[in-house]
């Protein structure tokens, strides 16, 4: 309440304004009387009394009107200040509640990730021991298949846990950015060729359309690689046959963009806007065929936001999907030299 009292207009200010105005008006009237003193010499005493009485009445009436208007203005101003103060308090409480909830969510996800990783690492470790046959061979082929399924499922669950933890830390700003000059062209080519060698991509053709003089950027290499890994994982997952195009260029407005385009199943237009939200996936009919929690694109968008950039999705059912990531021009290094090389 003390902060509110400091904001309110004090009543003494209104009184001071009215008294000052009244004194100025009285001085002005007195001056007029002094100027007209010669003309008043011929007036009768009754005439002078009536004149002074009328002038005093007019001054009092003007003072009353002025005081009423000033009081109304003061009350209206104070009401507005009180309303703004209450709105600020409500917004402060809402923001604090949201921050507390977000903090509690981050703590919960970090704790649950740690608790899940401990037994999961044991499961993965023992399954790898059984796969390697360190304590003897598995005579029954069905046991071998079961161990492989256990290991594969454990790896998948571990990747989901890691994505949850990464997304929570990234959106809460807990992840530290280790920014340094990055050769984005090399990063795109290396990551793309690594994914092209995966067994899941054996039926896919990888194409690279990277500007020959693509400048370096100031970015966190691990974060950018994480972005590419998520995009390429989704592209391979949802593309049965066809191609994946990795493209990078400088836009006309000076910003840098890189994109991953696939010829996969595509995304319905009414779901494109929500696909970058957490836990969102494409049409439910595909969820039975493709694993995933829908965290990949949400994490990509969060990581690009940490780089002052953004990620956009364009897609068409049966044609494919393009995810384009943007980096602002202020993160481009040696841009002038790159342009000169291109012009040459």
Which range, of 41-55, 254-268, 285-299, averages the lowest pLDDT? Answer: 285-299
- How is residue 271 written in tokens? 């779901």
Task: Quote the pLDDT of residue 340.
Answer: 43
- pLDDT-derived band at 44 (thresholds 50, 70, 90) equals low
Give pTM, 2 decimals: 0.58
CA 56 to chain centre: 65
Q: What is the rounded CA–CA span in Å between residue 24 and residue 37?
A: 20
Task: Quote the pLDDT of residue 174.
Answer: 65
Q: What dihedral angle (degrees, nearest 10) is formed by the CA atoms of 139, 141, 142, 146?
A: 90
163: number of Cβ within 10 Å: 21
Task: Quote the pLDDT of residue 41.
Answer: 55
Angle between helices 141-172 and 296-306 (to 10 degrees): 30
Q: Which is it for the CA torsion 273, 274, 280, 282, positive or negative?
A: negative
Q: What residues does each domain of the chain span?
A: 1-175, 179-343
Mean pLDDT: which of 82-96, 246-260, 268-282 is highest? 246-260
- pLDDT-derived band at 8 (thresholds 50, 70, 90) equals low
- Count CA within 13 A, CB hemisphere, residue 107: 6
Q: Which CATH number fits domain 179-343: 3.40.50.300, 3.30.565.10, 3.20.20.70, 3.30.460.80?
A: 3.30.565.10
User: Average pLDDT for residues 149-159, to the nearest whole number?
Assistant: 84
Task: Quote the pLDDT of residue 299.
Answer: 83
CA 214 to chain centre: 28
CA triplet 135, 140, 146: central angle to 5 degrees? 85
Query: Is pLDDT of 285 > 70?
Result: no
Q: Which long-range contacts (CB under 8 A, 24 or more apart) does 134-142 make?
A: none
Task: Quote the pLDDT of residue 273.
Answer: 72
208: number of Cβ within 10 Å: 15
Q: What is the rounded CA–CA span in Å between residue 146 and residue 251?
A: 51
Q: What percent of the chain has pLDDT over 90?
A: 23
Query: Is pLDDT of 287 > 50?
Result: no
Q: 3-state DSSP call for residue 323?
A: strand
Which range, of 33-47, 120-134, 150-164, 227-241, averages the lowest pLDDT? Answer: 33-47
Residue 292 φ then ψ, to 5°: 140, 155
Residue 312 φ then ψ, to 5°: -130, 150
Comparing 203 with 28, the larger pLDDT belongs to 203
- How is residue 10 written in tokens? 């004090």
278: number of Cβ within 10 Å: 17
Contact 210, 273 (CB under 8 A): no
Q: What is the rounded CA–CA span in Å between residue 163 and residue 179?
A: 21
Contact 296, 323 (CB under 8 A): no
Residue 257 φ then ψ, to 5°: -135, 145
Which range, of 65-69, 139-143, 221-225, 229-233, averages the lowest pLDDT? Answer: 65-69
Residue in this structure with the two tokens 């992840």, named with its chain if needed: 175
Which range, of 87-101, 284-298, 305-319, averages the lowest pLDDT? Answer: 284-298
- pLDDT-derived band at 20 (thresholds 50, 70, 90) equals confident
């Amino acid at each position: 309440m003390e902060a509110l009292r400091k904001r309110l207009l004090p009543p003494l200010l209104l009184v001071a304004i009215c008294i000052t105005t009244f004194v100025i008006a009285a001085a002005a009237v007195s001056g007029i009387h002094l100027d007209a003193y010669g003309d008043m010499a011929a007036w009768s005493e009754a005439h002078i009394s009536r004149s002074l009485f009328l002038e005093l009445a007019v001054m009092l009436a003007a003072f009353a009107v002025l005081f009423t208007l000033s009081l109304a203005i003061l009350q209206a101003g104070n009401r507005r200040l009180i309303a703004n103060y209450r709105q600020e308090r409500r917004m402060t409480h809402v923001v604090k509640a949201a921050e507390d909830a977000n903090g509690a969510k981050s703590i919960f996800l970090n704790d649950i990730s740690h608790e899940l990783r401990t037994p999961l690492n044991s499961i993965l470790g023992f399954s790898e021991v059984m796969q390697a046959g360190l304590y003897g061979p598995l005579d029954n082929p069905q046991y071998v298949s079961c161990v492989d399924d256990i290991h594969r499922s454990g790896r998948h669950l571990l990747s989901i846990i890691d994505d949850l933890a990464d997304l929570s830390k990234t959106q809460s700003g807990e992840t530290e950015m280790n920014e340094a000059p990055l050769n984005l062209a090399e990063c795109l080519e290396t990551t793309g060729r690594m994914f092209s060698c995966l067994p899941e991509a054996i039926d896919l053709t990888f194409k690279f359309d990277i500007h020959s003089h693509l400048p370096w950027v100031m970015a966190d290499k691990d974060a950018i690689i994480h972005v590419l890994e998520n995009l390429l994982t989704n592209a391979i997952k949802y593309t049965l046959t066809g191609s994946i195009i990795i493209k990078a260029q400088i836009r006309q407005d000076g910003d840098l963009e890189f994109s991953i385009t696939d010829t996969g199943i595509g995304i319905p237009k009414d779901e494109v806007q929500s696909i970058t939200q957490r836990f969102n996936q494409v049409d439910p009919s595909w969820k039975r065929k493709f694993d995933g929690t829908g965290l990949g694109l949400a994490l990509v968008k969060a990581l690009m936001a940490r780089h002052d950039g953004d990620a956009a999705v364009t897609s068409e059912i049966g044609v494919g999907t393009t995810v384009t990531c943007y980096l602002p021009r202020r993160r481009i290094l040696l841009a002038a030299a790159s342009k000169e090389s291109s012009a040459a």
